[in-house]
Structure 1
């Protein structure tokens, strides 16, 4: 049983920071921050889950079935991630590329301690705990003062695929498109640093401050860290309604309002970006239809422009109603990996990009999120993120772009550098 206690918070912004610093004592942490972003489909401004009561950690083999059994047997809050390489559980696919991070393919935990903040109202849910412990923890949190962070040694960031090689690889993707093998592919490359030591919380705060995305995540599982400033939702379930919000289409922000508005308008009218988005929206419609009630799949928004601190993005919103014969994990399995991070047709694309990319994607282009006790869920897409194996002192962040028949390799390279800007700035 969970004990629930409610509090009013006078300064939610300060309290979120105090929560994050207080959480660092635990082995397992998921901190989710929507950064007060105005959006229609959101339950909380901030969520913190810490301290595993139970957990599941596995490689890709039978992963979705194991997760289904875990979710159905606990019927409680579960927090965790799905790595991109779970594709190998769904289809006859493999991941043979280099992996410097060595995260498990799937990890979820049932938290002993849970904090849910909406506006200035805080709900604290503890598992099998006494009220005294809740009160003592709350007092400890509100007394935390942000400590001064020491300046760290610079991180030497390297690029896994040099520019010339990147341009050659994109040309190979274009060959596949012109031959009719595929229509669109999301091709990614890694930036990395070896023998690097960072303070994960300091880097997360910096990344979050310069990006302010709606799906920010600080994740820790012992020595594995994810610091994410992702703007993209993968999938959300509210009752029988399923919501997907794929992003395809990126443009620069400018400090000059006229230039910024022009960049936004150009993105909205760009035929290549619209074609990318519409192709993936169609793929998402098809994926959702596999678990939907007949005739319930709808495109609520097509190619709408949303503005974030770093970039403008083109986002579509697709919804469906879940057919009662399918479980909540079935919805994830039949739509994973998300179309915005693969391409179309999905299986052919995944085979081709596996051959051309030089790094195992792992948690990058996977998803972090949670299940509620009543079977609702909310999951993001892991992009604009720094991954860190503290034990191996290995730092990684990857970026990618959608390659279509209209793609110019040089422009795709520039788009990747634009997407890498925030992570590079935070690390160097």
Structure 2
């Protein structure tokens, strides 16, 4: 049934591939949920095997009969794990790493036209209905989700595209289904007797420039509403852990941390506890995760069952692994899509935490923000700095390195400034040259030295007729991603240098150079130029 599983290990900074299971243990029967997971845990302990797989959201009543859900989706098991004699580490993730027999088909990704099963108005109506229950004191917070569906299948290529940077990314391939998860959230992690949970609640979109991005992070950090939601869920986790933890061992070591992911900032807290109990016992008290149900859990899940129109399946369930020596790690399966291979149909869930003062329109926008991962175009790229080097050294070195560091922080690149300075200091030139430095995600640096043209011939320029969309990060950072500039060049005749104009009507740059102009020479009725332009506007 299961053929391949790939899981991210954020502690070791690598991926692990699980293939050729010795045994597969699964169930679609609610009454067998807890016993099935216990079988998996016992096999890991007794045989020294690894286990990898998932628990669907609708398995909740198998751990606690008072938890209400939709009828389980018959297309996915409630519990499904493969048992493996070994696992193979994988340092980098590309579609070429899929060595399975169907690799030729799996590395191709067909587009899926995702459609939300609820209309925006119907979702907002249900937000208002839930707020009425909260106002009546029947619950405090409800995580209301909806589902996107589309014809087509997610596969390993989808996984490589959307989950490459996800701390708890996961890919599960079986005969009848594929699961792709770009989850940023830890459900729980066991290291012998220590259990760690990272409840996540609170979201803000990423900025585009480093300055915008930090403003967004600061806003989330100081948001009273998001802090209140996060604290509510953190207290639930503390309470749940307290049911199985040694007395006095539950500790909240971090509160309201803000972390960057590909499209959003998220607020997380850290709760640890000491317990001698196993994974099945932890699922019994913790599952489903507090951040994707609400508070109190039983009441919130009853409203979820009442107001959601589809089963969640693996979405908001748990994906993870067990290893010998009481080691386990499970994510909460958010940012997760799965495909029904037989019917060529795919599913993706997204939702928001609804509280008394929630604004329905704002919650809908947050939900839509969480679907952006489906359209994210991930590709390997490098950061660039192009510098003038003379016998006296690099001109404006500190400014170049500061810009490089800002972009490295934004994209989560390793940037060792001391090593870079040492490499640049080793350059020996007897006349001015151009130095092109590129930085890879893992911190590798390449330096290329070329001559500066002495008398470049004048080149005609032309404003691009199509405005550039400013809502993309590549315009705010120097990278090897050139799609925007290639598109601009295609809009002008051969031999002309394309000059970009943004959607606000500002001239920003050319394809290969900055733009410097004299106002009295370049003034045009078609475009607005202002002497008050700021550098962070993208204008010079």
* TM-score calculated relative to the size of structure 2: 0.64
RMSD: 2.5
Q: Secondary structure at the match of 1:378?
A: strand
1:344 is aligned, of 289, 295, 317, to 295
CA contact 1:158–1:192 (8 Å) conserved in 2: yes
Q: Structure 1 unaligned runs (5+)?
A: 1-25, 120-139
Q: Secondary structure at the match of 1:293?
A: coil
Query: 1:43 offset after TM fit, Å?
Result: 4.4
1:86 is aligned, of 52, 55, 59, to 59
Task: Determine the C-alpha separation between the residues in 1 that align with 2:108 and 2:364.
Answer: 34
Task: Say whether 1:374 aligns with 2:325.
Answer: yes
CA contact 1:51–1:113 (8 Å) conserved in 2: no
CA contact 2:154–2:337 (8 Å) conserved in 1: no
Q: Secondary structure at the match of 1:62?
A: helix
CA contact 1:44–1:116 (8 Å) conserved in 2: no
Task: Determine the C-alpha separation between the residues in 2 that align with 1:150 and 1:332.
Answer: 36
Q: Deviations over 1:113-162 (max 9, x none)?
A: 4113579xxxxxxxxxxxxxxxxxxxx97xxx99996573x422221110
CA contact 1:97–1:354 (8 Å) conserved in 2: no
Distance 1:249 1:94, change over 3 A: closer
- Higher gyration radius (CA): 2
Identify which of structures 1 and 2 has the higher relative contact order when contacts are C-alpha pairs closer than 8 Å and 6+ apart. 1
Query: 1:65 offset after TM fit, Å?
Result: 2.4
Query: 1:424 offset after TM fit, Å?
Result: 4.1
1:176 is aligned, of 112, 133, 146, to 133
- Taking the TM superposition and a 5 Å limit, the aligned residue runs for 1:383-398 are 383-398=334-349
Q: Which residue of 2 aligns with 1:109?
A: 82
Q: Secondary structure at the match of 2:169?
A: strand
CA contact 2:130–2:354 (8 Å) conserved in 1: yes
Task: Say whether 1:47 aligns with 2:16.
Answer: yes
CA contact 1:50–1:112 (8 Å) conserved in 2: no
Task: Determine the C-alpha separation between the residues in 2 that align with 1:229 and 1:327.
Answer: 26
Task: Determine the C-alpha separation between the residues in 2 that align with 1:413 and 1:397.
Answer: 16
CA contact 2:2–2:24 (8 Å) conserved in 1: no
2:7 is aligned, of 25, 32, 39, to 32
Q: Structure 2 unaligned runs (5+)?
A: 93-97, 379-540
- Taking the TM superposition and a 5 Å limit, the aligned residue runs for 1:14-413 are 27-34=2-9, 42-43=11-12, 45-59=14-28, 60-75=30-45, 76-89=49-62, 90-96=64-70, 99=73, 102-116=75-89, 152=110, 154-193=111-150, 196-198=151-153, 200-209=155-164, 212-322=165-275, 324=276, 326-413=277-364
